[in-house]
């Protein structure tokens, strides 16, 4: 699909290259990761971010571990170090558990080669999964557009960045958008700025612009108003963890969009690769750990001055208390459908277990949805 360079890649020498997303949209800088510590730092500081990309980076982090020291102890240490970087996106644990199981099953001398193959597989699987999500989402977009008067454009609203920068290619929520644009659908995207880190304004706007998809950045608080005035046909977002009963954890502010969508009869879809489903958790509000990030993300803003200098400014009175919960949970009852690589799934336990029986079984859930 993509013309742009992927946000993560492995070189022939076994080095990992990442696009430093903390510098976008102002500078395009690629960094080389050569150690577990560097991979952990890149995830924790959000040089790489987005649930699938966090998983891919952690997988390559395990490869770097095996290159350095392939003993059982070193593999376990790397798993723990990388797992501690961010608590909410379940793709991190999924990728790390998969890598650890593969590595501990072979002799230490073979581990670097096996790790390379497995991490590459995780990356390429993500591309295929997101492409399939795009195909299923395109059908939904076409059906919604068909209900509108001829010549209308399809107005989509999205939150945060669930785009190619959050995955490997395509993205999750953006995959149907890219496919619709390529198919010639008259699509336009309202992009929530997504305070406090502005992933919408900085990243989603950058990547949609890169591909020529018409879009408009809006303040987070504008979405409800636009929905009340019939300017949004469909909301589509990503997720960092979706529970066995279909509760959806995603970037802070997603829940408010789901409430506004429900109040205004706007369909609210969540796009997710199956590794984002956590069948060990049911009640998302009660059970998912919500990352609390530094207060400076709320109290300060960074950007570029007219003469090209990076500046960070404070926007609250000095010494003011701030809180920064990074994610929230949208209950399944507010979700129209879960858009996966296996099609659109109803947000309930029975439908999720029926669609992904092997993952459900691995988590101890029986077909039919009971534990
Ligand atoms: O804190 P971030 O930028 O990693 O949060 C990202 C999101 O919330 C995305 O919507 C989610 O990871 C889905 S990415 C396909």
Q: What is the pLDDT of residues 80-113, one digit of tens each?
A: 999 999 999 999 999 999 999 999 999 999 999 9
Q: Based on the domain organization, do 102 and 206 belong to the same domain?
A: no
Confidence of residue 3 (pLDDT cuts 50, 70, 90): low
- Distance from Cα 162 to the centre of ligand 1, integer Å: 6
User: What DSSP string describes 223-246?
Assistant: HHHHHHTT--SEEEE--SEEETT-
Mean pLDDT along residues 62-87: 98
Mean pLDDT along residues 135-141: 98
Q: Is the pLDDT confidence value at 125 over 90?
A: yes
Q: Based on the domain organization, do 273 and 351 belong to the same domain?
A: yes
Q: Based on the domain organization, do 106 and 232 belong to the same domain?
A: no
Q: Based on the domain organization, do 254 and 231 belong to the same domain?
A: yes
The answer, yes or no, to whether any atom of ligand 1 lies below 6 A from the CB of 326, is yes
The span from the CA of 10 to the CA of 114, in Å, is 14
Q: Output the six-digit token pair for 91.
A: 């793709």
- Round the average pLDDT of the chain to a whole number and report it: 97
Boundary-marking domain end, from 72, 98, 125 = 125
- Distance from Cα 62 to the centre of ligand 1, integer Å: 22
The answer, yes or no, to whether any atom of ligand 1 lies below 6 A from the CB of 196, is no
Query: What percent of the chain shows pLDDT beyond 90?
Result: 97
User: What DSSP string describes 137-201?
Assistant: HHHHHHHHHHTSPTTPPEEEEE-S--SGGGSSSS-STHHHHHHHHHTT--EEEEEE--TTTTHII
Q: Domains in the chain: how many in total?
A: 2
The answer, yes or no, to whether any atom of ligand 1 lies below 6 A from the CB of 21, is no
- Kindly state whether residue 258 falls inside one of the protein's structural domains: yes
Q: Based on the domain organization, do 99 and 149 belong to the same domain?
A: no
Nearest CA to ligand 1 atom 6: 50
SS3 (DSSP) at 115: helix
User: What DSSP string describes 46-87?
Assistant: TSS-SHHHHHHHHHHHHHHHHHH--SHHHHHHHHHHHHTS-S
Domain of residue 101 covers 8-125
- Distance from Cα 107 to the centre of ligand 1, integer Å: 36
Which of 239, 277, 327 gets mutated to test ligand 1 (max ligand atoms within 8 A of its CB)? 239
Q: Based on the domain organization, do 322 and 205 belong to the same domain?
A: yes
Residue-level pLDDT at 318: 97
Q: Based on the domain organization, do 135 and 48 belong to the same domain?
A: no
Indicate which CATH number applies to the domain containing 222: 3.40.50.10470
- Distance from Cα 277 to the centre of ligand 1, integer Å: 14
What is the gyration radius of the CA atoms in the chain, in angstroms? 20
Residue-level pLDDT at 366: 72
Give the least confident one: 2-6, 168-172, 242-246: 2-6
The answer, yes or no, to whether any atom of ligand 1 lies below 6 A from the CB of 204, is no
Contact, 153 vs 187, CB < 8 A? yes
Contact, 33 vs 13, CB < 8 A? no
Respond yes or no: is residue 220 known to be catalytic: no
User: What confidence tens digit (pLDDT) does each residue in 227-274 have?
Assistant: 999 999 999 999 999 999 999 999 999 999 999 999 999 999 999 999
Q: Based on the domain organization, do 188 and 285 belong to the same domain?
A: yes
Confidence of residue 370 (pLDDT cuts 50, 70, 90): low
User: What confidence tens digit (pLDDT) does each residue in 277-301 have?
Assistant: 999 999 999 999 999 999 999 999 9
Q: Is the pLDDT confidence value at 2 over 60?
A: no
Q: Based on the domain organization, do 233 and 285 belong to the same domain?
A: yes
The answer, yes or no, to whether any atom of ligand 1 lies below 6 A from the CB of 175, is no
Confidence of residue 189 (pLDDT cuts 50, 70, 90): very high
The answer, yes or no, to whether any atom of ligand 1 lies below 6 A from the CB of 160, is yes
Residue-level pLDDT at 193: 98
- Kindly state whether residue 82 falls inside one of the protein's structural domains: yes
Selecting among 220, 240, 247, 328, the annotated active-site residue is 240
Contact, 247 vs 331, CB < 8 A? yes
Mean pLDDT along residues 70-88: 98
Q: Is the pLDDT confidence value at 369 over 80?
A: no
Q: Is the pLDDT confidence value at 40 over 90?
A: yes
Contact, 238 vs 199, CB < 8 A? no
- Distance from Cα 95 to the centre of ligand 1, integer Å: 16
Which of 90, 162, 293, 340 gets mutated to test ligand 1 (max ligand atoms within 8 A of its CB)? 162
Q: In DSSP terms, which residues pair with 215 in a beta bridge?
A: 189
């Amino acid at each position: 699909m993509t013309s742009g360079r992927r946000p993560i890649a492995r070189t022939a020498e076994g080095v990992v290259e990442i696009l430093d997303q903390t510098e976008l949209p102002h500078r395009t800088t690629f960094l080389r990761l050569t150690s577990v510590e560097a991979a952990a730092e890149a995830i924790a500081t959000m040089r790489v971010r987005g649930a699938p990309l966090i998983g891919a980076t952690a997988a390559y982090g395990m490869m770097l571990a095996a290159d350095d020291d392939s003993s059982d102890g070193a593999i376990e240490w790397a798993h723990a170090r990388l797992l501690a970087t961010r608590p909410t996106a379940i793709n991190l644990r999924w990728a790390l558990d998969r890598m650890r199981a593969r590595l501990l099953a072979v002799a230490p001398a073979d581990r670097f080669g096996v790790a390379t193959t497995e991490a590459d597989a995780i990356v390429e699987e993500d591309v295929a999964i997101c492409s399939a999500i795009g195909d299923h989402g395109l059908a939904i977009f076409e059906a919604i557009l068909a209900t509108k008067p001829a010549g209308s454009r399809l107005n989509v609203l999205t939150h945060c960045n669930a785009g190619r920068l959050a995955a490997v290619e395509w993205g999750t929520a953006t995959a149907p958008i890219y496919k619709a644009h390529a198919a010639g659908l008259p699509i336009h995207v309202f992009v929530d700025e997504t305070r406090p880190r502005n992933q919408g304004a900085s990243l989603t706007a950058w990547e949609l612009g890169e591909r020529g998809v018409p879009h408009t950045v809006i303040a987070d608080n504008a979405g409800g108003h636009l929905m009340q005035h019939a300017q949004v046909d469909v909301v589509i977002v990503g997720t960092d963890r979706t529970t066995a009963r279909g509760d959806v954890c995603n970037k802070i502010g997603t829940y408010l969009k789901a409430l506004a969508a429900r109040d205004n009869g706007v369909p609210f879809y969540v796009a997710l690769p199956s590794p984002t489903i956590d069948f060990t958790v049911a009640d998302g509000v009660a059970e998912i750990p919500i990352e609390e990030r530094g207060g400076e993300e709320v109290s300060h803003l960074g950007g570029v001055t007219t003469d090209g200098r990076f500046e960070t400014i404070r926007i609250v009175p000095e010494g003011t208390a701030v809180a920064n919960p990074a994610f929230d949970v949208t209950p399944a009852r507010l979700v129209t459908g879960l858009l996966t690589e296996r099609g659109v799934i109803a947000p309930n336990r029975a439908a999720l277990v029926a669609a992904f029986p092997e993952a459900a079984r691995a988590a101890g859930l029986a077909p039919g949805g009971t534990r």
